[in-house]
């Protein structure tokens, strides 16, 4: 027998408990939080922990209900039905993670309605099927409320269908620990600390005008570059600043802040 190793996930608060209560009570869970703060990693971790197959759907503007439920496709002389990831997940009692659900077309939310309430049923009009989800099925979704105002909101009535957990960037010590772990201690603790101090400085400067701020993901990328020998200022520029903005003025301001730490 082989024992699987859990993906590295540093627990931050009560997310594990909340997840378990949702699963045990057949409630769908919505993870809210900015990009790159550990939502996907957490779901992968929970799936491994429960030994469940996880199907992830990453939504974009074109993602529609058909993409999730399935479609008829032509195969030789026949037309055959092809399950989409949501249907597959219900049929095989796995977990489905609908990432960035607010990005998808509205019909995606309509499609999951009956699965997210007491019915726990997926209606497939085209094949005339009604699939009742087993207690082992779980629907998890994520959404980034930071996009508010840019037109990417979830309707309140949809939000109310989920138990919802707020994620955030971890506090200083935990974030340092995450970075060091992710780069297998290839950088000095002091450098990890500088990265986090820099990140928190930028996160607190609303006036910079960034749409998205420095995420744990960007810090990990940058730490990998530093760990491999790229000079820290350059690593910050290509690992954090350029991915965050194209605006020359904001870039200049960010570079000045980097220079305070490296
Ligand atoms: N709590 C955490 N434990 C371990 N790694 C984390 C954690 N939070 C963030 N990370 C790191 O940040 C990266 C981005 O996290 P991810 O889960 O992809 O973010 P999200 O899904 O919220 O956009 C991960 O690949 C990992 O390196
Ligand atoms: Mg994600």
What angle do the packed helices 172-182 and 189-204 form, to 10 degrees?
130
Residue having the nearest C-alpha atom to atom 1 of ligand 1: 10
User: What confidence tens digit (pLDDT) does each residue in 92-133 have?
Assistant: 999 999 999 999 999 999 999 999 999 999 999 999 999 999
> 211 and 195 in contact (C-beta within 8 Å)?
no
CB burial readout 180-198, b (16+ within 10 A) else e? bebbeeebeeebbbbbbeb
> 95 and 137 in contact (C-beta within 8 Å)?
yes
Which of the listed residues 36, 48, 167, 169 should we mutate to test ligand 1's pocket, taking the one with most ligand atoms within 8 A of CB? 36
Q: If pLDDT is split at 50, 70 and 90, which confidence band does 181 have?
A: very high
Superfamily (CATH H level) for 15-166: P-loop containing nucleotide triphosphate hydrolases (3.40.50.300)
Atom of ligand 1 nearest to the CA of 34: 22
What's the gap in Å between 42 CA and the centre of ligand 2? 9
Question: Which of the ligands is closest to the CA of residue 100?
Answer: 2
Asked if residue 103 has its Cβ within 6 Å of ligand 1, the reply is no
Partners of residue 50 on adjacent β-strands: none
Rounded CA-CA distance 118/87 in Å is 18
Question: Which of the ligands is closest to the CA of residue 144?
Answer: 1
User: What confidence tens digit (pLDDT) does each residue in 229-243 have?
Assistant: 999 999 999 999 999
User: What confidence tens digit (pLDDT) does each residue in 24-75 have?
Assistant: 999 999 999 999 999 999 999 999 999 999 999 999 999 999 999 999 999 9
Asked if residue 64 has its Cβ within 6 Å of ligand 1, the reply is no
How crowded is residue 137: how many other Cβ atoms within 10 Å of its Cβ? 23
DSSP class of residue 26 equals: T
Atom of ligand 1 nearest to the CA of 41: 17
**Mean pLDDT, the chain, as a whole number?**
95
What's the gap in Å between 93 CA and the centre of ligand 1? 26
């Amino acid at each position: 027998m082989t024992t699987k190793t859990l993906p590295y996930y540093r627990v931050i608060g009560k997310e594990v408990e909340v997840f378990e209560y949702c699963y045990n009570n057949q409630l769908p869970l919505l993870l809210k939080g900015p990009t790159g703060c550990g939502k996907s990693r957490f779901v992968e971790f929970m799936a491994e922990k429960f030994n469940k197959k996880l199907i992830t759907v990453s939504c974009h503007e074109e993602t529609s209900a058909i993409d999730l439920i399935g479609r008829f496709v032509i195969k030789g002389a026949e037309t055959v039905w092809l399950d989409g990831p949501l249907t597959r997940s219900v049929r095989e009692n796995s977990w489905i993670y609908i990432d960035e659900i607010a990005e998808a077309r509205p019909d995606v939310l309509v499609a999951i309605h009956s699965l997210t309430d007491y019915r726990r049923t997926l209606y497939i009009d085209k094949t005339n099927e009604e699939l009742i989800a087993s207690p082992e099925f779980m629907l998890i979704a994520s959404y980034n409320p930071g996009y508010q105002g840019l037109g990417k909101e979830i309707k309140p009535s949809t939000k109310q269908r989920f138990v919802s957990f707020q994620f955030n960037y971890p506090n200083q010590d935990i974030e340092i620990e995450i970075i060091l772990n992710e780069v297998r201690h290839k950088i000095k603790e002091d450098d990890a600390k500088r990265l986090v101090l820099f990140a928190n400085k930028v996160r607190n400067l609303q006036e910079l005008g960034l749409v998205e701020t420095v995420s744990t993901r960007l810090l990990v990328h940058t730490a990998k570059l530093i760990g491999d020998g790229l000079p820290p200022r350059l690593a910050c520029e290509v690992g954090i600043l350029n991915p965050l903005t194209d605006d020359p003025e904001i870039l200049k301001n960010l570079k000045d802040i980097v220079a305070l730490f490296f």
